[in-house]
Homo-oligomer: A and B are copies of this chain.
Amino acid sequence: MGYNVAPLDKLIDEFERLPNIGHKSAQRLAYHILTLPQKRVEEFAEALIKAKKDIHFCKDCCNLTDKELCPVCENEKRDHSVICVVEHPRDVIAMERTQEYEGVYHVLHGAISPLSGIGPEQLHIKELISRVAGGNVSEVIMATNPTVEGEATAVYISKLLKPLGVKVTHLAYGIPVGADLTYADEVTLARALEGRTIL
């Protein structure tokens, strides 16, 4: 462009660096910021700084928190002997929405993906191993994503955990509730058949 004034160009550039925001969207967002009252813009800037500054990993499960322990790990009513392993903090939120899970979590912050240069050492796997090695854990539920990377990660971790004598399970594969069989892909359908249960 070159025509825009420098502080505006800089702001457009900042928005454009965010994931899934193209140049046109970045422009629209930047112009929107200019229409906001100064106070609102300051609040936005402060929210960015504060979130980055205050949020860190839970000492036990590596989920995001602004305290030493996350709300789940802190909660004494949760069953601390069952650990559900997920890739991302957003997966914890998805699991919590079911209101069915009473154990605790472990957040890996990614999955093993050689193509993206992510090896096991970049994930929070050793924290999980030491949690389990510390005893008092009866079951580890692998809830990584049903992708090649997620599966590989689950297999990798279960191999490390088995020698510790802990039960390692995996979320069931199958037809999503409410879905139509016609549209289910053959891999999902095959897995659903394989894992069929007695009515």
Report A's interface with B, CB cutoff 8 A: 1, 3-8, 10-11, 13-14, 18-20, 25, 27-34, 36, 38, 41-55, 64-67, 70-71, 88-90, 92-93, 96
Alpha-carbon distance between A5 and B96 when the two chains are bound, in angstroms: 14
Alpha-carbon distance between A53 and B33 when the two chains are bound, in angstroms: 11
> How many subunits of this chain does the assembly comprise?
2
Distance (Å) between the CB of A140 and the closest chain B CB? 22
Cβ contact of A41, chosen from B20, B33, B38, B52, cutoff 8 A? B52
Contacts of A30 on B, CB cut-off 8 Å? 51
Contacts of A92 on B, CB cut-off 8 Å? 3
Q: Is the CB of B90 within 8 A of A31?
A: yes
Could you list some 20 contacts between A and B, CB below 8 A?
A5-B55, A5-B64, A5-B66, A6-B66, A7-B51, A7-B55, A8-B51, A8-B64, A10-B50, A14-B44, A18-B29, A19-B28, A19-B32, A20-B25, A31-B88, A31-B90, A33-B48, A34-B51, A38-B52, A41-B52
Most chain B beta carbons < 10 A, residue from A3, A19, A30, A41:
A3
In the complex, what residue of chain B is closest to A52 when comparing beta carbons? B41
In the complex, what residue of chain B is closest to A46 when comparing beta carbons? B45
Q: Is the CB of A93 within 8 A of B43?
A: no
Q: Is the CB of A41 within 8 A of B49?
A: yes
Distance (Å) between the CB of A134 and the closest chain B CB? 25
Asked, given contacts A14-B47, A50-B7, whether A27 binds B64 with beta carbons under 8 Å apart, the answer is no
Distance (Å) between the CB of A30 and the closest chain B CB? 7
Q: Is the CB of A10 within 8 A of B90?
A: no
Q: Is the CB of A93 within 8 A of B47?
A: no
Q: Is the CB of B5 within 8 A of A65?
A: yes
Contacts of A38 on B, CB cut-off 8 Å? 52-53
